[in-house]
Amino acid sequence: ARAAMSARWWRQPLDHLRCNAAQPTWEQRYLLDDTYWGKKRAMHNGCRGPILFYSGNEGPIEAFYESNGFMRSVLAPSLGGLLVFGEARYYGQSQPQNNSGKFDFLSTEQILADYASLLTGLKLQLNATNCPVVSFGGSYGGTLTTLLRLKYPHVVTGGLASSAPLGYYSPSGWRARGVTPYSWFETVIDVYSQAGCYASLVHAVSAVRRLSGSGPGRAALSARFGLCDAFGDANAFVYWITEALESIPQVNYPDASGGLPAHPVRAVCSLFTHADGRTGADGVSALANVTRWYYGVGSRGCVESARNTQLDGGVPGDGPQNGTAWGYQSCTETLHRFSVPPGAWRSYEWDERRLSDACFAAFGVRPRLDWIEGWSGGYAIADLRTTTNLIWSNGKLDPWHRGGFLRQTDALPGGRVFVFDYTAHHQDLRAPSADDPSELVVARAVEEELIRRWIQEAASATASSF
């Protein structure tokens, strides 16, 4: 991170939805980067420069700051913007209940209220009340940006919501938009099939499953996969492998990311290009390479853990997990109604009652699957034009794209819809790369133009009071 970026804290009430004079408070972490703020000509309303806000999602905020090169290296210098990255409550170091394992005040509505409070107060503190705010977010962060613009239009003037799967939480619109419980997984199948190795992957996973059925087989697999400790639960081990395979398409970027090589789906398939589809021992070895890329090798020179920690065997994508903030959110408002189609490398059939019971056992809560749609509208945001100035972008390599706003008719006044053929999860928020497809290069330029227009319009609306 650059020296100009600093981590700061903002005091928030524990519960925005309750008026209580004695209510506890907690410290929310946010990142501020003023490298370029005020470096451009001041707006005609006196503002030094716009505020570019990232609506942090399910993780430590530094990771989103580092991965969001479009905001940092393109928009901030071009617009003279102040970068503010908000960390979501109960993630990273923003812990309202001090890492107690309790998540009593975790919800999308509370997170949005935190962000509205942070932005409003920060603008006062920085003498920037006349400076427009544009929000950005990817994945659940894109959902947050969409809903922040919807619910707090006086706080943010527009938003770029990349790979925002809000439609997956809007089941009443699934039939009209061709969404099914298989939609997420079908994209995984399509991406590997187009790269030429899906059938080989299915055979290789089957070989692992057969070997894991005996003690000697489990010992051989533990050695082949370079595990620090031999695994005992065969089903958990197989899911650990398939979780990696299912996660890679969404990060199928043209440059190396984490431990994954560039174009990781292509790299995975290259391991399976030799004789007979490599469905025997060679296929197992190839899978071992894939898991080392995805999970990494620990300080002991081996793979530290190889087991499924999700409840109920793992909902495709990101099923609820015991003891984590996202696990709690999955058990309350963001549980995905996903299944695995027949003939895939594993079986999984959505069972609401079974998942509800698992969530109750883990957290003492049960999912409200229609809650986000109920208060936000879900697909109705586009159908009824309930807000303006939103850019929705999705890439077809990303399994989450099927839950996005994909129709050109979804475009809101002042906004746009981008559906990319060759991009992965929120790729337009990443730093530009020489290997980016031309469709992405063009779209980023349009996104910048739209964002600049929102800022100018917002500044003009407040110029008379300056």
- Nearest-angstrom CA–CA distance, 328 and 362: 9
Q: Which residues contact 242 (CB under 8 A, 6 or more apart)?
A: 205, 345, 346
What separation, in Å, do the N-terminal and C-terminal C-alpha atoms of the chain show? 35
Instruction: Measure the CA–CA gap between 339 and 350, rounded to whole angstroms.
Output: 5
Contacts of residue 301, Cβ cutoff 8 Å, sequence gap at least 6 = none
Q: Which has the closest alpha carbon to 36: 49, 21, 20?
A: 49
Nearest partner of 426 among 446, 405, 398, judged by Cα: 398
Query: CA of 132: how far to CAs of 33, 43, 129, 396, in Å?
Result: 16, 10, 8, 32
Structure tokens given for 279? 């469905």
Question: What Rg do the C-alpha atoms of the chain give, in angstroms?
Answer: 23
- Gap between the Cα atoms of 2 and 69, Å rounded: 12
Active site residue 398: yes
Q: State the Cα–Cα distance between residues 404 and 70, nearest whole angstrom.
A: 21
Can you read off the two tokens belonging to residue 152?
A: 């707090």
Please give the Cα distance from 208 to 96 (Å, whole number).
43
Active-site residue (options: 34, 282, 312, 398): 398
C-beta of residue 443 within 8 angstroms of C-beta of residue 453: no
The yes-or-no answer on residue 425 being catalytic is yes
**Among 459, 464, 463, which Cα is nearest to 81's?**
459
Name the catalytic one among 336, 401, 425, 426.
425
Q: Between β-strands 82-86 and 25-33, what pairing exists: parallel, antiparallel or unpaired? A: antiparallel
Residue from 135, 139, 162, 222 carrying the catalytic annotation: 139
Q: Which residues are catalytic?
A: 139, 398, 425
